[in-house]
Amino acid sequence: MGRGKVELKRIEDKSSRQVSFSKRRNGLMKKSYELSVLCEVDVALFIFSGKGRLYEFSTDESMTRILSSYQSYKQTEELTRVNIHEKLASEYTDLSTADELTEMIQRHLDEISLKKLEISGLNQLERELHNLLRVVRVRKTQLMMGVVKNLQKQEMELKKEKKMMMNEIMAAKLKEMDHDGDAGAHDAMTDVEIT
Amino acid sequence: MGRGKVELKRIEDKSSRQVSFSKRRNGLMKKSYELSVLCEVDVALFIFSGKGRLYEFSTDESMTRILSSYQSYKQTEELTRVNIHEKLASEYTDLSTADELTEMIQRHLDEISLKKLEISGLNQLERELHNLLRVVRVRKTQLMMGVVKNLQKQEMELKKEKKMMMNEIMAAKLKEMDHDGDAGAHDAMTDVEIT
DNA sequence: AAACCTATATATAAAAC
DNA sequence: TGTTTTATATATAGGTT
């Protein structure tokens, strides 16, 4: 599909691998989009580059959110369920600031980096990184849940305010009715709709 | 890309929409696979047909697992899944000593710890830790493979020595035979077994 | 890197089966 | 429905800038 034919195996040259990645990634996104429009289907595409960066296309935002947040959800669930990790959980759940988290991580890492990295050391390092990863994911979930909670709270308050305003309006209308007599009272009432 | 050019909108004719879906779906899967191989990246592609049928391609099994929890799309049985072997991150394979690895990790971590850990920062941190974990695992594999190689080498040397010893023994026996005459020579020979 | 340029490989729409 | 064919549209490798 170009001047030369390419074998189906890892492109060894780093530079042209990167170029190909960029081109083909865009091509894939475009085709995903076309498929979704032409055939009216939902498509979700996730591409994780070697560096762990995520490129994604999705016709359904909620699906994306569900799929990409599944991992952190699962980690959280696991964390609260398994006893072995209880201590870890309690140690981290009351971290309130990002700085505390950063410090904690650095502390762990300092410890780790002092050790000799033979196989047994690497095993430990692997475990530690795994735990850190879990902590980060839990923290992320917590933050996101916090955001959601705040939004919900705000919504509640707005609704409350709206209700109060409605009440005032109703009171005003009722006062008008006192002046105007009973005629038209019914219409005034049905205009008010509280949700 | 065919005899006629198609507008980018839902194909109204049900039949040709179905045909297009089938063709483009396969094309997308193929291209996803190619991208993953050529550029050595993880790709996950999910296509939900109008009827809720799922077509999926993924280089990463965990993605498949994510979907298996999707109750609404669970009727998926005929998944054409292509499994691809996990590959070593080539950028890291030339790390030769534990010290280099330690340094590299520390470098990454220093960078990370400088940043503010809001949600976006946590996302990056998650990626970084994931990468570090991968590096550690690759390094571990390398070390283990090194150990195996050494053991094989030692085994080879031991076998060589054994062979030489056997030869000496054979020579000694032959000498004995010269003294004793031909009787018993056959038995002596069959006792010697070179592996 | 990214953007552009072609020659060529590939994908696929429509036809035919 | 699926497969094969074929003409054409599209994607992209390997340049160049």
Dihedral-angle region of residue A189 (phi above 0 means left; psi in -120 to 50 means alpha; beta otherwise): alpha
pLDDT band at B174 (very low <50, low <70, confident <90, very high): confident
Distance CA(B167)–CA(A145), nearest Å, equals 76
pLDDT band at A126 (very low <50, low <70, confident <90, very high): low
Task: Estimate the crossing angle of helix B119-180 against helix B98-114, to 10 degrees.
Answer: 170
Which chain B residues have a beta carbon less than 8 Å from that of A23? none
Higher-confidence residue of B40 and B61: namely B40
The answer to whether residue B132 scores a pLDDT higher than 50 is yes
Q: What does the pLDDT read at residue B181?
A: 52
Task: Estimate the crossing angle of helix A61-81 against helix A86-93, to 10 degrees.
Answer: 120
Express as a percent the part of chain A with pLDDT over 90: 5
Q: Which of A38-47, B79-88, B117-126, B180-189 has the lowest average pLDDT?
A: B79-88
In the sheet that holds A54-58, the strands lie side by side as: A54-58, A42-48, B42-48, B54-58
pLDDT band at B31 (very low <50, low <70, confident <90, very high): very high
The answer to whether residue B114 scores a pLDDT higher than 60 is no
Q: Would you call A67 an interface residue with chain B, using a CB distance cutoff of 8 Å?
A: yes
Q: What does the pLDDT read at residue B35?
A: 92
Longest dimension (CA), chain B: 102
Find, in chain B, the residue whose alpha carbon is nearest to that of A30. Answer: B28
The answer to whether residue B11 scores a pLDDT higher than 50 is yes
Owner of token pair 């580059």: A49
Q: Would you call A178 an interface residue with chain B, using a CB distance cutoff of 8 Å?
A: no
- Residue range A24-35: average pLDDT? 90
DSSP state of B110: H
Q: What does the pLDDT read at residue B45?
A: 82
Q: Is the pTM of this model over 0.85?
A: no
Q: Which among B20, B23, B22 is positioned nearest to B10, based on CA atoms?
A: B20
Cα angle for residues A147, A152, A155 (degrees, 5° grid) = 125
CB atoms within 10 A of CB B98: 16
Q: Which among A52, A51, A46 is positioned nearest to A68, based on CA atoms?
A: A46
Q: Which among B39, B35, B57 is positioned nearest to A50, based on CA atoms?
A: B39
Q: What does the pLDDT read at residue B56?
A: 77
Nearest-by-Cβ selection for B21 from A41, A49, A105:
A41
The answer to whether residue B127 scores a pLDDT higher than 50 is yes
Q: Where are the beta strands (DSSP E) in chain B?
A: 42-48, 54-58
DSSP string, A99-153: HHHHHHHHHHHHHHHHS--SHHHHHHHHHHHHHHHHHHHHHHHHHHHHHHHHHHH
Q: What does the pLDDT read at residue A193?
A: 40
Nearest-by-Cβ selection for A31 from B31, B91, B118:
B31
Q: Which domains does chain A have, with CATH numbers?
A: 14-61 (3.40.1810.10)
- Residue range B138-152: average pLDDT? 54
Note whether A11 and A17 are within 8 A (CB): yes
- Residue range A48-67: average pLDDT? 63
pLDDT band at B28 (very low <50, low <70, confident <90, very high): very high
For chain A, what is the mean pLDDT?
62
Higher-confidence residue of B54 and B89: namely B54
> Which residues are registered as beta bridge partners of B54?
B48
Q: What does the pLDDT read at residue A114?
A: 45
Note whether B127 and A52 are within 8 A (CB): yes
Chain A, 97 to 156: residues with Cβ < 8 Å from chain B are 98-99, 101-102, 105-106, 109, 113, 116-119, 121-123, 125-126, 129-130, 132-133, 136-137, 139-140, 143-144, 147
pLDDT band at A100 (very low <50, low <70, confident <90, very high): low
Tokens of B127: 């990626």
Note whether A57 and A43 are within 8 A (CB): yes
Q: Report CA-CA distances (Å) from A32 to A36, B1, B29, B57, B193.
A: 6, 15, 10, 13, 66
Handedness of CA A127, A128, A129, A133 (dihedral sign): positive
Distance CA(B31)–CA(A9), nearest Å, equals 13
Longest dimension (CA), chain A: 93
DSSP state of B92: G
For chain B, what is the mean pLDDT?
60
- The C-alpha torsion from B99 through B103 and B109 to B112, rounded to 10°, is -160
Express as a percent the part of chain B with pLDDT over 90: 5
Q: Which of A102-116, A179-193, B78-92, B125-139 has the lowest average pLDDT?
A: B78-92
pLDDT digits (tens, 9 = 90+) for A138-193: 555 555 555 555 555 555 666 666 666 667 667 776 776 776 655 444 443 444 44
The answer to whether residue A50 scores a pLDDT higher than 50 is yes
pLDDT digits (tens, 9 = 90+) for B35-53: 988 998 878 787 877 765 6
Nearest-by-Cβ selection for B39 from A11, A133, A144:
A11
Q: Which of A186-190, B17-21, B149-153 has the lowest average pLDDT?
A: A186-190
pLDDT band at B67 (very low <50, low <70, confident <90, very high): very low
